[in-house]
Structure 1
């Protein structure tokens, strides 16, 4: 089955955008002092720097499901596909709580575990492996039921039992969980993100059709239209209502300021509506920009790992350049290692560092992509 380049392009695009948010987390001068989407404190530039990265996780998980669909169709082997999804899912979970956790917090004591997008994909792969006996259409419908229905479960309490509370947080709501010697931050509860992956799996059939560009435009238009209708009504789809603000611009920001943790219905409709429109727009398009961005999209996990460690070491170097010493670094729960006070850089420098980083990572991603494609006999490469 021929690889669909537009999937790699869109995946690469959102992964490049993702790096902006991680650089901002570690290097922005006011990180920890303000929420970029808090309309009472933010600026338009800071808001959009954060908001645009909302595209990333939803698209990444969605296209992971689509890629799983094409892998399954290529294999035409239920047992082998199930085994691969199971083992890759477990591998992603292990990576999340070891290699990635250390990159984020740089804490050798591992006092904080962040349950985020890679673990969510891992658990979703495992669950998807048990659903492969169903038709892609049925799997996609299950995903849509979860996406449209999980907001109705918000506010339901399972009581004060710590085990039930942990299970509810892990599956639906997210939050904090106290472990014996550390804290788990559940940012990506399993069920809502599973719904996004299953919907992506169902999309695979769309992409096999000769008129897929038309279908993608129709799907995108429908999703964005439904978002506007539901958001305007303020009735259902997001726990945070939009409201009139100090001016027209900030009222618009309130309207599009959807909830990512956990992903609300309106978040999914808006973000995936935009991403699917990009899929439609770039279908069949060929130019140098698409070729470059596609390089990153072909090696998503490889890029994800090296970009986190690159950002971490750049952050440490930046702090040293600003006159701080190693003893000034603060590590621990909810601490990224930054010194206390106004360390870091302003937004224009964040973007300059981001551009320099993605340029520097291009040769590595290109090399690995070529190595991976030229060595199909090395099965372990499918896991990285």
Structure 2
């Protein structure tokens, strides 16, 4: 933690959380906004469904690859420069998407979008841990998740309306304006939170040693799996939204926001609960609650898809409850990940985001196309994603240093 944190941001904690949330949301927002326009983009550019799926896979793979470097760069040159360059490149890439005349051009600029969008998510996590001690950091991380949920909730509504009234290029035009606006906002408001004495040398050898150290840590890697893979139990349905909502539930593109309303509502509710429980419930207990919720609704989802007539009235709320469980536990696990490398939190955040993004890309490019046409297949795949995270957590929870949980357990419960 930066010893000058109180001077760097003298304002209220929630205002910093809101500022960081605007950075974190740019990645998911740039996915959710254009999904309702899939069919229109395909028709306009003469693209097949598989080629359209590649626009998503290219984004996620580039996001994962560049995430390896955002944090390392932020550890060496500071948090602000990485954010400012990242948002500027994102704005230019979004403009390129809007002007694309072929599916190949769109895939290229979507990959460039992915390479730059991760800067916000990676750096915002490192800033939180720069500025706050553990239990305060959990509250701020929860507030960031809460505020962050507002943007993806409205993204498909905005994207659907822009597509209907102005055409699909207007969606990427909006993203270009948002990227430019964020670059200006962060230039004016975001402080440099990395203490000069904590800056790491920027060299290939130093970076490789850091990645080898983190990648060779079983605790670090397992915590990354525990936080990132269960997210795909919900994200699988987002990736499959054109088929799941359009073909299975027979909803129009302008109604796609029902899915996002449920999932983001669940994330915001879970993040709020996580913040309320910080300092009152032991972190490992909170993680246990989250997995219990995800596991229960995951099993219920399989049973209902197997036995009950399909209906949006139960198919969508189940995903909202699953999202609540994930959001309850992920702030805790994310902070545990960052604390595995206190002198390289940017790199730790990078590697965590990279692992999660690789999982997302595999789900988008491989798993989603395989199961999206089967409701039972979607349900089983979602449950499997939760099970991977649960097994990872069960393995690592007893191998964590005692002080991590003891700090909270020693405080009185409310």
TM over 0.5: no
TM-score normalised per structure 2: 0.33
**Normalised TM-score (structure 1):** 0.35
Q: Which has the higher strand share?
A: 1
Q: Greater helix percent: which structure?
A: 2
